Chains A and B, each alone.
Chain A
Amino acid sequence: MSRFLTLLFREIKSYFYSPVAYVVLFFFLLLTGFNFFAGVSLLNRGPTEITVVEAFFNTVLFWFGFVLVFPLITMRTFAEEFKMGTIEGLMTAPVRDGQVVLAKFGGALLFYIVLWLPSLAYFRIFEWITGSEAARAGGAYWGSYLLLLLLGMFYLSVGCLASVLTRNQIIAAVMSFCAITLLFFMGLLSFIVLNVSPFLRDIVGYFSAIEHMGEFSKGIIDSRPVVFYLSMTAFTLILTLHIFQARKWKS
């Protein structure tokens, strides 16, 4: 356990050594800030049914920035170790392969959580200034963040998988961007193509982040997406572990 924490701590610190982290933080702050502003202006246009939390989490801009952030967070994780050769020192220390994979994923997840912290403040400030509720219910507020966490876990694991496949960070970023965009828009397929079989529609529905967000931000928390995202994350991480071992042995 203490070895895992040592690894995790280094992973988190390594984000803040690199300028990319600050660029991502800045860009994300800008994006969420602008998105929040857009949400508030929408409410200003006149009486509406939706709340600021719903407006915030359901804009195109929001989803665009959202898929872009995962490749940037995860591209370094494994690719850099293979490229620098530091993987050799790392894996000849008495650490388990699984500990390394979990620490890299955990570091990415913590950085991702840090990205979202400022937005928590937006809604608090909104409530404080306007005196009105940001979300329909407390559940909607936390439901949105729960889904962000679950989606984040899945997409970060996909990013780790892409990074373990190559020693080039840019290739890793492009691969995970393509994969995540594909996964993300797969969910939109059921809106575009209407005459698909119900079975396929169900499968595709599981990937439909936008649909899930629509529900979660209203406070309707379904256990199926929760189980789906958790098991997909576990599956992707196990795959990452196996490829990590195979690649380590080939280097």
Chain B
Amino acid sequence: MIQVENLTKRYAGHTAVNNISFEVGKGEIVGFLGPNGAGKSTTMRILSAFLPATSGRARVAGYDVFTHSLQARRHIGYMPENVPLYPEMRVDEYLRFRGKLKGLHGRRLRERAAEVKDLCNLREVDHKIIGTLSKGFRQRVGLADAMIHEPDLLILDEPTIGLDPNQIRQVRDLIRNLGKHHTILLSTHILPEVEMTCSRVLILNKGRIEASDSPQNLLSHLRSAGSLHVELKPGGDDAESLLRSLDGVKEVVAKPAGEWMSFRLRTDAESDPRESIHRLAVDRKWPLRELSRARATLEDVFVEITQSDDA
């Protein structure tokens, strides 16, 4: 659905997107993840044929977004960052206007307008003026607009930014449902969101793609160099050095919690020292109340990847 080859975008000397290449297949939900200024919006604007690239090529549904911009645009539903809308129009009026611009008319237009309003729960604000709507509704109007012409590809730039947790959940469910029929490229800095909605993550940092994999693979990659959480009551013993001397333990960070001690252990990729920790605790008669593998989050992956080259 999307083919990007050696795409570069420079703004007055500053490189926003630096020679990136990737593909998105039909039916995928791909998340663009990266800190602010990483180049997510710039890439999405090029893909939706709003900005020309400085060099490189991008194709959507087989059409070059620059040389066959109109054909490419017909296949794309784009929701820009911050969802700019005409504040003086009514919701229904706006959606009909957008539908017509995208080539719908007559009965088809009426049907599609009704469908997207149902999908995005916009019935109750049908005749409201957009300028008076809350952020959550505006976001859903933007989504309804993006999908009104049933595009093959949805490009959503930060679809949940500025929403409250309830609204985020609603929009996320909506996106997941849309993913059954559409290819979706979305950008976000909310990490759990990518984990929950996307089949693949592209991590973008300083205009480059740093990683491209499924959330599960990225996590297991990180988890292989795992970490453990241990909580016990060591009495007078120096539990910290005893734990450090165990096979496979690379690093121990201790944190006292009253009589109890809480330890965070970093271990080798292959070894699992949980059994020896248990045995040690039994030998020393330490009461043990917690022994668990810490679940790596996508946040860890993100932090590791986006900060490693700063240090």
Please measure, in the bound complex, the distance between the C-alpha atom of A18 and the C-alpha atom of B88, giving whole angstroms. 8
Q: Total interface residues on A, using CB and 8 Å?
A: 22
Q: Are B84 and A96 in contact (CB under 8 A)?
A: no
Set of chain A residues within 8 Å of B51, measured between Cβ atoms: 249
Q: Are A3 and B85 in contact (CB under 8 A)?
A: no
Please measure, in the bound complex, the distance between the C-alpha atom of A90 and the C-alpha atom of B100, giving whole angstroms. 12
A-side residues, CB < 8 A to B, are 2-3, 6-7, 10, 14, 17-18, 84-86, 88-96, 248-249
Interface string of B30-63 (1 = CB under 8 A from A): 0000000000000001001111100000000000
Across the two chains, which residue of chain B brings its CB closest to A94?
A: B73
What are 28 pairs between A and B in contact, CB < 8 Å?
Answer: A3-B100, A6-B100, A6-B101, A7-B101, A14-B86, A17-B88, A18-B88, A84-B87, A85-B80, A85-B84, A88-B45, A88-B80, A88-B84, A89-B78, A89-B80, A89-B84, A89-B98, A89-B145, A90-B101, A92-B78, A93-B73, A93-B98, A94-B74, A94-B101, A94-B103, A95-B101, A96-B70, A249-B51
Please measure, in the bound complex, the distance between the C-alpha atom of A92 and the C-alpha atom of B145, giving whole angstroms. 12
Q: What's the least CB distance linking A99 to chain B, in Å?
A: 10
Q: What's the least CB distance linking B246 to chain A, in Å?
A: 57
Q: What's the least CB distance linking B88 to chain A, in Å?
A: 4
Please measure, in the bound complex, the distance between the C-alpha atom of A84 and the C-alpha atom of B89, giving whole angstroms. 14
Q: Is B137 an interface residue (CB 8 A)?
A: no
CB-contact partner of A94 in B50, B84, B102, under 8 A? B102
Interface size bracket, B side: 20 to 34
Set of chain B residues within 8 Å of A94, measured between Cβ atoms: 70-71, 73-74, 101-103
Q: Which of B105-164 contact A (CB under 8 A)?
A: 105, 145
Q: Are B97 and A10 in contact (CB under 8 A)?
A: yes
Please measure, in the bound complex, the distance between the C-alpha atom of A90 and the C-alpha atom of B78, giving whole angstroms. 10
Across the A-B interface, give the 7 residue pairs with the lowest CB-CB distance, nearest first: A85-B84, A17-B88, A6-B100, A94-B73, A93-B101, A88-B80, A92-B48
Q: Is B82 an interface residue (CB 8 A)?
A: yes
Please measure, in the bound complex, the distance between the C-alpha atom of A249 and the C-alpha atom of B48, giving whole angstroms. 13
Across the two chains, which residue of chain A brings its CB closest to B102?
A: A93
Most chain A CB within a 10 A radius of its CB, from B45, B49, B84, B105: B84
Please measure, in the bound complex, the distance between the C-alpha atom of A10 and the C-alpha atom of B86, giving whole angstroms. 10
Set of chain A residues within 8 Å of B102, measured between Cβ atoms: 93-94
Given contacts A17-B88, A86-B86, A94-B71, 16 further A-B contacts (CB under 8 A): A2-B100, A17-B89, A84-B84, A85-B82, A88-B78, A88-B84, A91-B50, A92-B48, A92-B49, A92-B76, A92-B78, A92-B80, A94-B74, A94-B101, A95-B101, A248-B50
